[in-house]
Amino acid sequence: MLWIGLHCLPAGAGEVLPAAAGLPEHQVLVMLHIPPSHYRPDVNYAGRYGDDGAHAARRRIAEELARANGLMLVNDWPMPALGIDCYVMEDPGGGSSAHLVELLSRDPRIEWAQPMSRFHTLGNDPLYSLQPSAKYWHLDDLHRVATGRNVLVAVVDSGVEDQHPDLAGQVAVKQNFVDGNPYAAEQHGTAVAGIIAARGGNGVGVEGMAPGARLMALRACWQEAGVGAECSSFTLAKAMNFAIMHDVQIINLSLGGPPDRLLQRLLDAAMQNGIKVVAAVDPQRTDGGFPASVPGVLSVADQESGVLPGAFGRRVLLAPGRDIPTTAPGARWSFVTGTSYAAAHVSGMVALLTELRPSLSSAQMREQMTVIGPANDGYAGAIDACATIGRITGNFPCLSATAYASKPAHSP
């Protein structure tokens, strides 16, 4: 399993294990092929297979594989977006996942097997004037043109406090892919959600980049005191499969970790279905980390950190990510810093552009992004939101945009 910037535990149709059980280095993911007819539009794939009798046969195969290799079958989940069932297996004796993958990959019944990996997170109303986006991206002016109205954004993250005063009514769907406990509101997911879609003009807190957007709050990560949030490749995959099957338009991934075949396949499936994927750059990795380094993903770094070297750095988008006021659990607000929050700004911006030009692909949208050169307040390569809106619509909503209207976009 992979764990991304948030700490999440495997959970699903099988037994749910407590957070401390099962280290990822002793777990593997095993994929078995499912026939196309497995997915039915009348079945909710949030957490169970329904009455799919064919699954029972595949589970027996998985149990046989586990027994034959001295493993314990921990969990399983249908992923019709890829045409597979995903099984979590663990070596109770503590064997390495690399050795387990080698053994299992020899069996012709298995489509593929891979290690379990970790990912980690990367961080007009009273606080409106303190928002960098209010100053540099001229939110008041942008929102006269677009608010992201009815654009569906999946926040694949830790839990979102959907009853927060700035988020009440903004969350259309919430699902827990971490465990069998009630959905939990947590710091990181709530902060990301607020930056994207906090309600505007309600007299409290902050205003999101796209207050007209609808959020799908998919809890694939869990928060732990003092260590941020974590997620696994299994929990992330379940959430991404759900997002793809429920026709989201944007997926926000404010997290990073090692390359992962299952998540790569889901990213490819999402982009092939026209879904725009926004991911945070890992500032500790020269290649930006996974999933930010995946071609086609809109990769975002903090605009004060500068562009990464090389070809990847030339396609990174820069957005506000330092000292950002946003929503926090307990009906509170707090200041956050990190590329996670820069990515959330771009997801909100993409929601505005999607409302205005829904037919634009992710690549076309990236090509239309106008960026500000180093002469502007020192923000090299930062997005000029006003000029970008003007370039796409022909209507420049901000006076400051005229200074950059003639500048070419920096294409990847």
Closest to 288 measured CA to CA, from 268, 316, 265, 260: 316
340 is catalytic: yes
The whole-angstrom separation of Cα 150 and Cα 213 is 5
Q: Say if residues 3 and 121 touch (Cβ distance below 8 Å).
A: no
26 is catalytic: no
The whole-angstrom separation of Cα 167 and Cα 162 is 5
The whole-angstrom separation of Cα 222 and Cα 55 is 28
Count the Cβ atoms, other than its own, within 10 Å of residue 38.
Answer: 20
User: Which residue type is seen at 80?
Assistant: P
Region of 381 (left: φ > 0; alpha: ψ -120 to 50; beta: rest) is: left
Query: Of these residues, 26, 143, 188, 345, which one is catalytic?
Result: 188
Query: Of these residues, 157, 162, 260, 384, which one is catalytic?
Result: 157
Closest to 184 measured CA to CA, from 165, 213, 157: 157
The whole-angstrom separation of Cα 391 and Cα 393 is 6
* Farthest CA pair distance, the chain: 69
b/e code 159-181 from CB counts within 10 Å (16+ = b) = bbbbebbbbeebbbbbbbbbbee
Query: Of these residues, 133, 340, 347, 362, which one is catalytic?
Result: 340
Closest to 393 measured CA to CA, from 360, 345, 348: 360
Count the Cβ atoms, other than its own, within 10 Å of residue 196.
Answer: 33
Backbone angles phi, psi at 33, to 5 degrees: -70, 140
The whole-angstrom separation of Cα 358 and Cα 364 is 11
Closest to 118 measured CA to CA, from 227, 29, 233, 16: 233
The separation between the first and the last C-alpha atoms of the chain, rounded to the nearest angstrom, is 31
Which residues belong to the active site? 157, 188, 340
